[in-house]
Structure 1
Amino acid sequence: MDLFSEEKQVLQLPGAELVYYPNFCAKPEADLLFNSLKTSTNWQEDDIKLFGKVYKQPRLTALYGESNKPYSYSSITMYPQSFPENIKSLKTKIETISQEKFNTVLLNLYRDGNDSNGWHADNEKELGKHPVIASLTLGEERPFHFKHRRIKEQRHKIILEHGSLLIMKAPMQEHWLHQIAKTKRKIGERINLTFRNIINN
């Protein structure tokens, strides 16, 4: 059985192109990766400041990279650890299928439905003008909401499945916002790996 699938769906939108591989990782490989990453990752929970108040970030995170270049977002600055072999191998497979190069990956662990990621774009200056982001989901499926910054009727949702890969192509981060919303449903854990390329010091 093939462990990785190139079967894809392409969604063309104003100022965006998304490529979705619903079965990028076969279930045995996805299960193995989830369990390995959950137990071996040095997860951290940072403080974020919103409207003058400090809160715990509603998810756990970790950063891996090929250099010691930091990555900053939402007033948080993270310094990467070296790629472990399983993520390095995964990065190579994603680079091959996407024809893009990535030197950094941000991991998110959503522990339950209370963990979330609010409306945002991956448009930090470290990523350059029009970054490509490749997002791998392991574990509980979650809805991925995205909306155009100016065209109100352009709002969409994709259910990110266990083992799926979503590639957000340029210039999506300029024109669109996306989120993983909270839910009151009782759901399990989800690990999300977002591969990106940091180009600035």
Structure 2
Amino acid sequence: MKDARKPVLIDLPDAELLYQPDFLDLQEAQSLFSHLRNEVPWQQDDIRVFGKTYAQPRLTALFGLEGKPYTYSGITMHPHPFPERLSELKTAVENLAGVAFTSCLLNLYRDGSDSNGWHADNEKELGQNPVIASVSLGETRKFKMKHRRDKNLKHDLELVSGSLLIMKGSTQHHWLHQVPKTKKPVGERINLTFRRIY
């Protein structure tokens, strides 16, 4: 894992965003993708949106240190213990982010019809100004952001394999983000979001 280079600051109002496209080299990223794709106990939960229940349009898994559950969109997930390779990645991410993370939520996007709708990572168990560190593996997907109040403030980022995106400060108070569906033919992507649950 590379730690010589520092992440680049993305200059957006009301946000603290850092992006490092080559946090992992391509070989490391591919090896980790294959390992996680095969070894993680993926699950698909039902999600409630505007009073209707749907199968969540992606697969997920939660790993954690302290056994604390994580609840979002009416789903409560209970963590598995961190396996060795995920622990090693967590340590490398912590060294860059300057935060001791307690959990990692994994999302598996199987194709372009898998997605994650507009949201903020602002659940109360994440604390006042949560630090969210996101590692992408596999296919590149678009990460879209929009400001909660100023409709003219938008930002798109292509999250490439091996990249690290860190959101911190007041970002979750002011911005929403999503991984939209795409009609383009696209292969599988795994996203790992490290966070601290209080």
The sequence identity of aligned pairs, in percent, is 57
Residues 28-55 of structure 1, C-alpha deviations (whole Å, 9 max, x = no match): 1101100000000000000011222211
Residues 2-39 of structure 1, C-alpha deviations (whole Å, 9 max, x = no match): x3243421112221011000000011110110000000
1:177 aligns with 2:176: yes
1:87 aligns with 2:92: no
RMSD between superposed Cα atoms in Å: 0.8
2:25 & 2:54 partners in 1: Cα distance?
Answer: 37
Q: How does 1:163-174 map to 2 (within 5 A)?
A: 163-174=162-173
The count of aligned residue pairs is 197
Residues 37-89 of structure 1, C-alpha deviations (whole Å, 9 max, x = no match): 00000000000112222110000000000011110000000000000000100
Letter in 2 for 1:80: P
1:122 aligns with 2:121: yes
1:4 pairs, out of 2, 15, 18, with 2
What TM-score, normalized to structure 1?
Answer: 0.96
1:56 & 1:36 partners in 2: Cα distance?
Answer: 25
1:197 aligns with 2:176: no
2:183 & 2:162 partners in 1: Cα distance?
Answer: 23
Letter in 1 for 2:2: F
2:150 & 2:52 partners in 1: Cα distance?
Answer: 31
Letter in 1 for 2:171: M
2:163 & 2:54 partners in 1: Cα distance?
Answer: 30
CA contact (8 A) 1:48 1:56 kept: yes
The residue aligned with 1:154 is: 153
Letter in 2 for 1:146: M
Q: How does 1:29-178 map to 2 (within 5 A)?
A: 29-178=28-177
Residues 135-154 of structure 1, C-alpha deviations (whole Å, 9 max, x = no match): 00000000100011001111
Could you tell me which runs of 5 or more consecutive residues in structure 2 were left unpaired when the two chains were aligned: none
Could you tell me which runs of 5 or more consecutive residues in structure 1 were left unpaired when the two chains were aligned: none
Letter in 1 for 2:184: R
CA contact (8 A) 1:143 1:160 kept: yes
What TM-score, normalized to structure 2?
Answer: 0.97
1:92 & 1:46 partners in 2: Cα distance?
Answer: 29
Secondary structure in structure 2 of the residue aligned to 1:20: strand
